[in-house]
Amino acid sequence: MRTQIISKRVKMAEIKYEITKHIGVLSESANGWTKELNLVSWNDREPKYDIREWSPEREKMGKGVTLSEDEVAQVKHLLEEMPC
């Protein structure tokens, strides 16, 4: 039996975002990209906490993670329990 591979190109929908509050920079790479913690509204939704890398002019972004307030509280709790 022969397997057929089908390739499709799908146009991604444009993602709308607004950084509603810049909280801080976690690090900066040699090429000027910064890893930041921000409150971001994605596609006109309620803002969520967001950690990701941004290019110097914020025209490009890397993959990141978004967290609700409850998730941020849980991360804070877990970090406080870690031995230093």
Please, what are the domains in the chain?
Answer: 17-81 (2.30.31.70)
pLDDT tens digits, residue range 11-55?
Answer: 767 889 999 999 999 999 999 999 999 999 999 999 999 999 999
Amino acid letter for position 83:
P
The per-residue pLDDT for 3 is: 67
> Residue 23 in contact with residue 38, Cβ under 8 Å?
yes
- φ/ψ of 41, rounded to 5, equals -95, 120
pLDDT tens digits, residue range 58-67?
Answer: 989 999 999 9
d(CA 84, CA 57): 35
The per-residue pLDDT for 25 is: 98
State yes or no: pLDDT of 8 exceeds 70: no
- Asked whether the whole model's pTM tops 0.75, one would answer yes
